[in-house]
């Protein structure tokens, strides 16, 4: 006898309520990589409108899906969405501005790309209880510098926060999947440059193999040096046992400018923008 899962699937109820209040485009947004020691923080954005149908079957919060299930969801979700984007903020930006500002920067990069392909998003649904997307009431010139659109006249989207939105709202769940798959792919590519850190497995989080590599080799330009990397405190970096497990020379040098995909974006046909 088969046992049916009792897990509830996310719906478009919240998105449709916002559309009923007058919004034309509603974006679900979620982040991944906030607590990692290395790599970017990434923010997914999935846009829906009044004509959007029920999400592809099997969609839920990315943390509840296996890696293969997440990969299988990517193409159906991209076709389902009115538009989608994944924005990134790199380790140097996290160190320079702090994690909350970096989240805002990544989210605004995603919004700026969707603006070019589908227009302005009226309301953004954020997972959680904290609005990290809206600009703080700061100096206008500082706000313009942190905004990837580089314009002060871009409409400011409304923001609604909802705890467990990644479990309840289809657009947010879809954003979580696209962001997770995109960031995991980035970490796998970075792992080829720094094989000692096993980022293809731990995705930059504080797994034992990652911490041991930090003890042996020190931080790389892809590490968030403003993070409290306690594993490096009072530790002498040992010479690698062999060149096979040693990171490249840049891994123990001062931080360098590392090319990073700041945003992946889609509206029908996916496009990619690379900024060095």
pLDDT tens for 6-52 read: 467 899 999 999 999 999 999 999 999 999 999 999 999 999 999 99
How many Cβ atoms from other residues are within 10 Å of residue 247's Cβ?
Answer: 18
Is there a single domain that holds both residue 82 and residue 35? yes
Is there a single domain that holds both residue 267 and residue 144? yes
The whole-number mean pLDDT for each consecutive block of 10 residues of the chain, a chain of 276 residues, reads 57 97 98 96 98 95 92 97 98 94 95 95 96 76 49 76 95 97 97 96 95 94 82 44 34 35 44 28
Is there a single domain that holds both residue 86 and residue 177? yes
Q: What pLDDT is recorded for position 135?
A: 85
Nearest to 197 by CA among 37, 10, 89: 37
The verdict on residue 97 lying in a domain is yes
The verdict on residue 140 lying in a domain is yes
- CA 81-86-91 angle, 5° bins: 170
Is there a single domain that holds both residue 129 and residue 214? no
pTM: 0.81
Domain count, the chain: 2
Is there a single domain that holds both residue 264 and residue 244? no
Is there a single domain that holds both residue 241 and residue 153? no
Is there a single domain that holds both residue 235 and residue 269? no
Mean model confidence pLDDT for the chain: 81
| Range(s) of the domain holding residue 65 | 13-188+257-275
The verdict on residue 127 lying in a domain is yes
The verdict on residue 77 lying in a domain is yes
The verdict on residue 51 lying in a domain is yes
How many Cβ atoms from other residues are within 10 Å of residue 28's Cβ?
Answer: 31
Is there a single domain that holds both residue 152 and residue 19? yes
Q: Residue 105 maps to which CATH number? A: 3.30.420.10
Is there a single domain that holds both residue 81 and residue 126? yes
The verdict on residue 1 lying in a domain is no
The verdict on residue 233 lying in a domain is yes
Is there a single domain that holds both residue 225 and residue 121? no
Q: What is the pLDDT of residues 173-187, one digit of tens each?
A: 999 999 999 999 999
The verdict on residue 21 lying in a domain is yes
Distance CA 90, CA 30 (A): 17
- Following CA atoms 191, 30, 93, 136 in sequence, which dihedral angle do they give, to the nearest 10 degrees? -170
């Amino acid at each position: 006898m088969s046992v049916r899962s009792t897990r509830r699937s996310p719906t478009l109820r919240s998105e449709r309520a916002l559309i009923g209040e007058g919004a034309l485009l509603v974006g679900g947004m979620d982040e991944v990589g906030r607590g990692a020691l290395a790599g970017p923080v990434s923010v997914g954005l999935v846009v829906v409108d009044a004509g959007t149908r029920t999400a592809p079957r099997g969609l839920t919060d990315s943390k509840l899906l296996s890696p293969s299930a997440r990969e299988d969801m990517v193409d159906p979700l991209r076709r389902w969405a009115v538009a989608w984007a994944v924005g990134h903020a790199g380790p140097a930006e996290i160190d320079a501005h702090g994690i909350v500002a970096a989240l805002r920067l990544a989210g605004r990069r995603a919004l700026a790309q969707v603006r070019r392909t589908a227009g302005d998003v009226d309301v953004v649904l954020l997972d959680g209880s904290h609005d990290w997307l809206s600009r703080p009431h700061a100096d206008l010139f500082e706000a313009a510098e942190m905004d990837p659109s580089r314009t002060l006249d871009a409409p400011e989207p409304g923001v609604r926060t909802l705890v467990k939105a990644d479990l309840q709202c289809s657009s947010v769940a879809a954003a979580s999947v696209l962001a997770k798959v995109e960031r995991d792919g980035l970490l796998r590519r970075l792992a080829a440059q720094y094989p000692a850190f096993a980022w293809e497995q731990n995705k930059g989080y504080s797994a034992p193999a990652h911490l041991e590599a930090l003890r042996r080799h020190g931080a790389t330009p892809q590490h968030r040096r403003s993070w409290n990397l306690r594993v490096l405190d009072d530790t002498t970096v040992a010479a690698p046992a062999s060149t096979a497990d040693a990171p490249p020379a840049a891994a123990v040098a001062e931080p360098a400018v590392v090319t990073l995909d700041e945003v992946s974006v889609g509206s029908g046909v996916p496009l990619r923008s690379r900024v060095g």
